[in-house]
A = this chain, B = another copy of it.
């Protein structure tokens, strides 16, 4: 907003006062929540919503609107109060805060139309805001992105991962504000009111930064003006505030974190104290009294551009060129898969954490460098940025070694809560990576991904299925995880084969099968080998490729189990918990089958891949032994 068309400081002060009042009212009505952290942020939020940002309260998802991310998600009540004040919904709705029938939850989630990403796990808002700011570049929009952080949350490393990425990307359409109220949940923060410590840190990371009094509307507006003019760098405003500002008995006092005022006298007195702070700006209030609060006209976003129609990824994917029997690692198929998608739709973005030559995402960078984001070795930032991008319509594919995706597991959890279409790919799964040793082996990644109930989990075994499942990931709503392997495996599917989500492939099947073996990834080939060994002894086993681990193909598994005497073996290059064995066990729970799990059951070590498959009990030899055991 240009400074000339801005409402007066007194009007903004009154709006801040109204936000304070509504934050107290809503938390008191709920009987829980965080009023005091709302009160410290009220002047900043009022300035952003009513003197800075360009948006349409009636259409909060307008693609050209400025974005606001409340990284300090526990200040949700003031976010709701601000949108109510802007006219998005009636003010008294805030009194439904935290009740099961309302989307005004304890911490913001995208169930609300004006929330892009769920916050409440501290340190996630800034990475997401960076993704949102990068999306402006992708769609060539001049919208700006604002993130409000708590001071305590700046202890989270993800904030500094994000700071690095934003500076590297020279994101001058991003402005972060830290609400330095000096008080954490249980004690003073380590920074207390030293706003300069934030300025020093962010400057050292390459940001423009300045320190202000966060209750001085003039200083807030001036800093926002300056921040808007910064070129080639992201901007940081460290605002000195008081937790509980406006309530003399509470202001700046410890012991008030996450406590609602008591209903009745305590709340009534607080509201009266705040109401007395309204300045007479000539506006009548709703009941006709002066002084009152008038919401100023909010500048609308630019005209909506027409977007190209989305691609039908699965149908339009060009056929890959591998022939049956070619030896290709599934991770090697990931690159060409990404490149093919990138050519179909400009929404496809790839993100890397400095392993692009191992995951083969470098192929995408060669073709589409403007849609390739390098987060360097910062997995939380990579996934957080992807969350922000996904929230604004991009289809991001962050990839790294599967074990290092676990570094971002709390982000992946929050991506699930936000239902964001982040398409994660993790390479180098399992002990089959060999010599690098246990620190590089993902053996709990399926459990992590399956722990997000709305996450689709895919585990291809050959290059064709990997390539096709990359397209399926792009086409499937919500988060998706694709598990990729390091070793080369033979191509077993024709290039035109289809792999529906929730499906499976039965690769070996006779009417005399006595055991069903369910596998995916490298162990599928161990299962096929076990099949051949046992066939020589006239023992027939059914072999199923469970490329879709979540959802899993219940019907096929139940039918196979019934056909093979209720004997099922699962075999996975993963620990025994939360992975394929767990998925199959649950799928057939009511059948009274026996589901034996072959999986890694101890901390592994360095060695050659084949040695390790054998040593940790997931090789063809182990499968043959397990079949014999089940038949004994």
A: residues with CB less than 8 A from B are 30, 32-33, 73, 98-100, 102, 105-107, 109, 111, 118-123, 152-153, 155-161, 164, 168, 184-187, 189-190, 197, 200-201, 203-205, 352, 354-358, 362, 374-381, 403-404, 406-407, 409-410, 413-414, 416-417, 419, 435-440, 443-444, 447-448, 450-454, 566, 575-578, 581-583, 585-586, 589-597, 600-603, 605-608, 611-612, 615
B589 contacts A592, C-beta separation under 8 Å:
no
- A156–B354 touching, CB < 8 Å: no
CB atoms of A451 and B447 under 8 A apart: yes
Query: What's the Cα separation between A42 and B291 when bound, in Å?
Result: 73
Q: A582 touches which one: B30, B203, B577 (CB < 8 A)?
A: B577
Give A109 to B203 CA distance when docked, in angstroms.
37
Give the Cβ gap from A128 to chain B, nearest Cβ, in Å: 13
6 additional contacts, CB 8 Å, given A106-B435, A409-B410, A417-B438?
A: A73-B439, A157-B159, A157-B381, A184-B354, A403-B410, A451-B575
Specify the chain B residue showing the minimal Cβ separation from A168.
B190
- The CB with the most chain B CB atoms within 10 A, among A156, A596, A601, is that of A156
Which residues from B are CB-within-8-Å of A200? Answer: 204
Q: How often does this chain occur in the complex, in copies?
A: 2
- CB-nearest residue of chain B relative to A100? B607
What is the minimal beta-carbon distance from A390 to any residue of chain B, in angstroms?
16
Whether the Cβ atoms of A435 and B98 lie closer than 8 Å is yes
Least CB distance, A600 to chain B, in whole angstroms: 8
Chain B nearest CB, measured from A313 CB (Å): 25
Chain B: minimal CB distance from A131 (Å): 16
Our pick among B164, B203, B357, B615 for the contact of A185 (Cβ within 8 Å) is B357
Most buried by B among A102, A158, A414: A158
Q: Which interface residue of A204, A358, A414 has the most chain B CB atoms within 10 A? A: A204
Docked pose: A55 CA to B537 CA in angstroms: 60
| 18 A-B pairs whose Cβ atoms sit less than 8 Å apart in the complex | A30-B435, A98-B606, A98-B607, A99-B606, A100-B615, A109-B438, A155-B161, A156-B379, A156-B407, A184-B376, A184-B377, A186-B354, A204-B204, A403-B413, A409-B410, A447-B578, A577-B578, A582-B586
Distance in Å: Cβ of A189 to nearest Cβ of chain B? 7
Closest residue of chain B to A445 (Cβ to Cβ) is B451
The 6 closest A-B pairs by CB, nearest first: A157-B157, A578-B578, A120-B439, A100-B607, A444-B451, A204-B204
What residues on B are CB-neighbors of A413 within 8 Å?
403, 406, 444
Q: A152-B354, A155-B377 are in contact. Are A439 and B603 (CB under 8 A)?
A: no
In whole angstroms, how far apart are the Cα atoms of A452 and B443 in the complex?
Answer: 9
